Structures are given as structure tokens and as C-alpha cells.
Structure 1
């Protein structure tokens, strides 16, 4: 019973939906970690100058939940999930780059590159991957078609 339900959900989600589901859960959990146990904010002075990390946590949570919900939408309508998934890591990368430029956090360059490659880059690549990129198997010839 469980296996049938899981297969049905996976079939409904497809590859793109599963990716969005994973991203959505991850971003929501990352945001929750800022609520329950916020880090010291090193390198995030651009953000913490506007409001605290607990408030920025909601950016991750809202974008994560939007991404998660988009996993269940049809291809084409799921684009908002990819847009939402891009927002938090892009904001964080900009904040870390600003910290490098101002001299507040020299390690920020590497963290920004990490966000831009393993988050933003992967999300942008995944957004372009079609649901079914493998062509269908050729149809077998019928006996009346010359076989």
C-alpha cells in the first residue's frame, strides 16, 4: 500500500517535482535553523544592517515553502518554484560579496562562490532540464509493415 502510494506521488511529481520538493524542504529547514539557533552573522552585515537573522529566516522559509508547493504543479507552472528557490542563495551571495568588498569578511568570497555554484547554478541548470529528455523507444514494426 505504502509503496503504491509513494510510486504514485513520484510519478505525479516527476524529476522536476522531486528536485523542487527536495529544495523546498531543505530551504525551509535552513530558514528554521536561523529561527531556532541563529549563527553569529559573520559576513552578513549587509543583511543584519536591515534586520536580524531571525527576520531573514522567513525569506528562506517562505521561499522554501513556495518551492515545495511548486513541486506539485504541472511543468511550466512550476517555474515560480525555481524563482523562489533562487532568491535566498542569491541574496546571501550578494551579502557575502559585499562583505568582501567592504573588508568585513574576507572568507565571504569563497562562501559567495559556493552559493553561486552549488545553489544558484544548480537551480538554474535544473530549471532547464526537461521532464523527459530521453526519446521514447522506437515502435516495433508490425508484420504488415514489411517484417
Structure 2
């Protein structure tokens, strides 16, 4: 029974929707971790000068929920999910880059590159992947009566 439900869900979501569902779930969980047990703010001074990490956690949570919701939209309309999914890692990469430039957190360069490649880059790539990349087989020619 669970396998049938998973197949039905995958058939409903497709490749792009499945990616958005997984990505959105991860973003929501990441945001919850900042909300429930915030880590040290190493390299995030640009953000914590504005408000605490608990408040920034809501950026991840809301983006994750919008991304999950977009997984159930038709292709083309799911673009909102990909666009919103880009916001949190871009903000975090910007904060770490600012920390490197200001000399506050030298390790931030590696973290910023990690966010830009494993998050932003993957999301941008996945947004361009068509739902079905294999072309459909051509229909065989019909046998007709010659006139």
C-alpha cells in the first residue's frame, strides 16, 4: 500500500514537483532548526545586526512551505517555487561573503561558495530540467487507401 501511494504521488508531482517537495521539506526543516535551537552566528553578522537568527529562521520556513506548495502546481506555474527557493541560500551566501570582505569570518568564503553551488546552482539547474526529457516515439504511419 505505501508503495502504491508513493507511485501515485510521484505520478502527480512528476520530476520537477518531486524535486520541489524534497527541497521545500529540507528548507522547512533547516528553518525549524534555527528556530528551535539556533546555532552560533559565525559569519552571519550582517543578518544578526538586523534581527536574531530565530527571526531569520522564518525566511527558511516560509520559503520551504511555498516551495512545497509549488510542487503541486502545473509545470510553468511551479516557477514561483524555484524562485522562492533561491532566496534563503542567496541571503545566507551574501551574509557570508560580507563577513569575508569585512574580515569578520574568513571561513565564510567556503560556506558562501557551498551555498552558491550546492543550493543556488542546483536550484537553477533543476528549474531548467524539462518534465520529460526523452522525446516521445513518433507515431507509426497509418495505412491508408491510395486515391
Question: TM-score band (shorter)?
Answer: over 0.9
User: Which residue number in structure 2 is paired with residue 46 of structure 1?
Assistant: 46
User: Which residue number in structure 1 is paired with residue 114 of structure 2?
Assistant: 114
User: Which residue number in structure 1 is paired with residue 105 of structure 2?
Assistant: 105
1:39-59 C-alpha deviation (Å, 9 max, x unpaired):
111000000000000000000
1:63-111 C-alpha deviation (Å, 9 max, x unpaired):
0000000000000110010011000000000000000000000000000
Residue 93 of structure 2 is aligned to residue 93 of structure 1: yes
> How far does residue 141 in structure 1 lie from its aligned partner after superposition?
5.2
What is the CA–CA distance in structure 2 between the aligned matches of 1:141 and 1:4, rounded to whole Å?
36
1:3-34 C-alpha deviation (Å, 9 max, x unpaired):
33221211110000000000000000000000
Residue 49 of structure 2 is aligned to residue 69 of structure 1: no
Residue 19 of structure 2 is aligned to residue 30 of structure 1: no
What is the CA–CA distance in structure 1 between the aligned matches of 2:40 and 2:3, rounded to whole Å?
43
Please, what TM-score do these two structures have when normalized by structure 2?
0.94
Please, what TM-score do these two structures have when normalized by structure 1?
0.94
Give secondary structure in 2 for the equivalent of 1:86: helix
Residue 81 of structure 2 is aligned to residue 81 of structure 1: yes
User: Which residue number in structure 2 is paired with residue 18 of structure 1?
Assistant: 18
C-alpha RMSD of the superposition: 1.2
What is the CA–CA distance in structure 2 between the aligned matches of 1:118 and 1:134, rounded to whole Å?
26
What is the CA–CA distance in structure 2 between the aligned matches of 1:61 and 1:15, rounded to whole Å?
23
Number of residue-to-residue matches in the alignment? 144
5+ long unaligned stretches in structure 2: none
